């Protein structure tokens, strides 16, 4: 069997290399020679999957690190990576042309990693290069295609590869040397668009990643995370007195607890056959919410101390309930981040597929007066802060921003946001793929990753091209 070697630069949590390792043929496969990464937690993640000898922790701008990479990777066939690149923010005003873009790429300090990526390509001279995730292509303009300036910047990158002796055209004869890919087309239950540039030293047309046949089944959240154990959030009571809209919460506490209770009752109905629902812990929790609602309903005034006590008692019951949640990973967290009570209420009241811009719009069918009153942000600046996903649709793009908050990733029917484990599955990582580090680090690694299924489609095309080329020249 032929083994083609890869060098993974800016490897992160290993999404790109995972896809390449999963690409298969009876006569050929890929093998990682080195995965280079600077982040400690991401390196530990890579080591847990690739082995310590395959992982190099370091900064590729350091001459010693670069020298070590070149020395150990002279024989690699493919370099893959997505160097951070400020190309699009550097394009400038309308008068900017290709020369300005070229100068920005070469001379701007923010493109240091980009330049060192190409330095390594120049020194190692792999047979193929895959350049992924050109920063700046995350705007809504992407839905309508690339702007002329964006195409110009990508053409500059392609031309620099051509100057190094690489052929960038794809098999359809496209001259600009890039493809815009949507991970949804490759079986990932997520809308995620990226630019991919594939180039080779053999002067042959580059493969186009083969899309999956989705006529029978489109990947949805239900098919991806629907079978996971039910999980409930802990409620943060720290600084509750300073919580925005706490006055609205306390004024409507009976309605707020009722909305939470209704959500729990709905889980009871939907998951009535699940073992975690048919146990004593869930019954105690549901009864506690019901009793608390009756208390608040029959009281004229419900103060802050009562709400704190309610949340603390709930947290104890939720902790006992969640203890039965098991997943196939030892380190990846299937634990909900703590949420404040206001947000738990908002999550509970929102409809599947709705957003805060809808529940604040009086002309929308999703409008809700209490939700409108509970919204804690500046309505003149932020209206789509909360996004509740739907079971029958794919997720929005999983972002590294989830390390800060997950309000755009609210679970379809559980009053919380996605866990790191759910985010990893949505990114198409294997069920037993472990991420190291705390929750924030895991969210960052997962959000920055190339979805393995999309990477596998890229790798499969390159694997077949390499194999066919080698077989042809050996005749």
> Which residues are designated catalytic?
85
Residue 241 burial by CB count (10 A; 0-12/13-18/19+): exposed, middle or buried?
exposed
Asked if 410 contacts 386 with a C-beta cutoff of 8 angstroms, the reply is yes
| Cα-Cα-Cα-Cα dihedral sign, residues 150, 152, 156, 158 | positive
Residue 180 burial by CB count (10 A; 0-12/13-18/19+): exposed, middle or buried?
middle
Both tokens assigned to 397: 């793009």
Exposure b/e, 205-226, CB count within 10 A at least 16 = b: bbbbbeebeeeeeebbbeebbe
Question: 161: part of which helix (H) or strand (E)?
Answer: helix 148-163
**What HEC string does 141-197 produce?**
HHHHCCCHHHHHHHHHHHHHHHHCCCECCECCCCCCCCEEEEHHHHCCCECCEEEEE
* In the block, residue with structure tokens 């995965």: 35
Q: What is the spatial distance between Cα 152 and Cα 187, in angstroms, rounded to a whole number?
A: 30
Reduced to 3 DSSP states, what percent helix, strand and coil does the chain have, rounded to the nearest 5?
Answer: 45, 10, 45
CA 278 vs CA 161, 258, 282, 323, 325: distances in Å: 60, 22, 7, 14, 13
Q: CA-based Rg of the chain, rounded to a whole angstrom? A: 25
Q: What is the spatial distance between Cα 32 and Cα 34, in angstroms, rounded to a whole number?
A: 6
CA 369 vs CA 8, 10, 197: distances in Å: 51, 47, 49
Both tokens assigned to 319: 């902790």
* DSSP-based three-state secondary structure for 200: strand
Asked if 82 contacts 450 with a C-beta cutoff of 8 angstroms, the reply is yes
């Amino acid at each position: 069997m032929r083994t083609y070697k890869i060098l993974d630069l800016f490897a992160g949590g290993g999404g790109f290399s995972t896809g390449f390792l999963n690409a298969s043929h009876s006569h050929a496969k890929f093998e990682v020679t080195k995965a280079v990464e600077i982040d400690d937690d991401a390196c530990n993640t890579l080591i847990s999957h690739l082995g310590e000898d395959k992982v190099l922790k370091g900064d590729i701008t350091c001459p010693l690190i670069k020298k070590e990479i070149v020395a150990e990777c002279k024989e690699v066939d493919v370099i893959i990576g997505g160097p951070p690149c400020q190309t699009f923010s550097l394009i400038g005003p309308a008068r900017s042309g290709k020369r300005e873009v070229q100068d920005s790429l070469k001379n701007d300090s923010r493109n240091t990693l980009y330049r060192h990526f190409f330095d390594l390509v120049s020194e190692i001279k792999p047979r193929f290069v895959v350049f992924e995730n050109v920063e700046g292509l995350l705007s809504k303009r992407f839905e309508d295609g690339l702007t002329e300036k964006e195409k110009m910047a990508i053409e500059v990158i392609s031309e620099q590869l051509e100057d190094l002796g690489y052929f960038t055209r794809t098999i359809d004869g496209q001259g600009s040397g890039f493809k815009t890919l949507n991970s949804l087309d490759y079986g990932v239950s997520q809308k995620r668009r990226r630019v991919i540039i594939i180039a080779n030293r053999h002067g042959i047309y580059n493969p186009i990643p083969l899309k999956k046949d989705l006529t029978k089944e489109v990947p949805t959240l239900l098919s991806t995370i629907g079978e996971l154990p039910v999980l409930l959030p802990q409620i943060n009571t720290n600084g509750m007195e300073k919580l925005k809209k706490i006055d609205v919460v306390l004024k409507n506490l009976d309605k707020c607890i009722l909305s939470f209770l209704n959500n729990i009752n709905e889980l009871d109905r939907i998951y009535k056959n699940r073992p975690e629902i048919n146990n004593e812990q869930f019954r105690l929790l549901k009864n506690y919410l019901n009793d608390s609602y009756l208390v608040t309903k029959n009281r004229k005034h419900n103060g802050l101390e009562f709400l704190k006590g309610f949340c603390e008692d709930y947290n104890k019951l939720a902790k006992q309930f969640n203890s039965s949640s098991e997943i196939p990973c030892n380190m990846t967290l299937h634990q909900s981040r703590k949420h404040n009570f206001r947000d738990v209420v908002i999550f509970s009241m929102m409809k599947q597929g709705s957003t805060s811009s809808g529940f604040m719009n009086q002309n929308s069918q999703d409008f809700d007066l209490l939700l409108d009153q509970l919204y804690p942000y500046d309505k003149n600046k932020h209206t789509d802060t909360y996004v509740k996903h739907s079971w029958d649709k794919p997720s929005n793009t999983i972002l590294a921003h989830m390390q800060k908050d997950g309000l755009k990733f609210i679970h379809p029917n559980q009053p919380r946001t996605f866990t790191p484990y759910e985010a990893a599955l949505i990114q198409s990582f294997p069920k037993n793929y472990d991420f190291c580090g705390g929750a924030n680090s895991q969210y960052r690694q997962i959000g920055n990753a190339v979805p393995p299924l999309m990477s596998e489609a890229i790798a499969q095309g390159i694997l077949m091209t390499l194999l066919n080329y080698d077989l042809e020249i050996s005749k």
